[in-house]
Amino acid sequence: MLCVLMVLSGAARADGIEVNEARIEYQDGGFDLAASFDFELPPPLEDALNKGISLYFVVDFQLTRPRWYWFDEKPVNASRSVRLSYHPLTRQYRVSTGGLQLPFMRLKGALQFIQRVRGWRVFERNMVKPGETYQAETRMRLDLTQLPKPFQINAVNTREWNLASEWRRFNFTVPTEFPQPPAPTPSPPVLPVPAPPPVPGPASAASAAVAGETRAVPFAQTVSTVLSPNTLVQPAAGQP
C-alpha cells in the first residue's frame, strides 16, 4: 500500500507541465538556457491567485559529466524563481523575477511570459571543458514551500496543487571554437572647424566713426574756406 501511494504521489508531482523545447546557446562569453513550457493553471490555483496568494514557479537546471571511474561530475546546479501575483486594486497580474517586474491585464499573457525562458545565464565558459560532452537537464515546478502554511498542508493531499514537469534531458557538447566579437568600427577623423572672423564691438565701431569724422574735417574746412560766400561777394580793393 505504501508503494502504491509513493507511485501516485510521484505521478501527481510530474503532472500538469510539459517541456516543449530545451537547448543551450552561447552568448557573450557564457551559455544561456532557452526553454519553453506549456501548462494550464488549475481552477484551485487560479482561485487562490485571485484571492491574493502569490505563486512561485521555479526552473531548475543541472549539468552533469559522466565519469566511469568515479561519481558523475556536476559543475552546474542552478535554479530561477518567478513570482506570479494579482493586485485587485489595479486588476493586474504581475510577474517578478530578479529586479524585473512586468504587469499584465490578462492571466494568459502572464502565464505565456512565465512559460518562455530566454537569456538565463546558467554557466560561464570557464566552467566547462571544450570538446567535452555533458548531460543537461531542466524542469519547471510550482514551489509549494513558498505558499502559506495552510495551503502547504492542502497541497500535500491535492493533486491539482502539485504542478511540475518531468526532467528534460539532452546532451550538450562544448564547442572548441567560439565566435569572435566584431571589431569596433573606427570613427572618422574630426576636422578642425575654422574660427569665424572677429566681429567689431561697440568700442571698435565708435573708434571707426571718430576716425572717419577726423578724416572728413579737413576737407570740409577747405571747401568752406575756398567757396565762402563772403569771398565771392566782397568787392576788390580800390573799386568804388
pTM given for the model: 0.68
**pLDDT tens sequence across 116-126:** 999 999 999 99
Q: What is the tens place of the pLDDT at every residue in 63-84?
A: 999 887 877 888 999 999 999 9
SS3 assignment, position 137 = strand
Which residue(s) pair with 102 in the sheet? Answer: 95
Indicate the residue type of 238: G
Phi, psi of 109 (to 5 degrees): -65, -40
Phi-psi region of 144 (alpha: psi -120 to 50; beta: other; left: phi over 0): alpha
Instruction: Return d(Cα 146, Cα 143) in angstroms, integer.
Output: 6
> Cell 568700442 identifies what position?
203
Confidence of residue 149 (pLDDT cuts 50, 70, 90): confident
Across 64-99, b (16+ Cβ under 10 Å) vs e yields bbeeeeeeeeeebeeebebbbbbeeeeeebbbebee
Domain ranges of the chain: 12-173
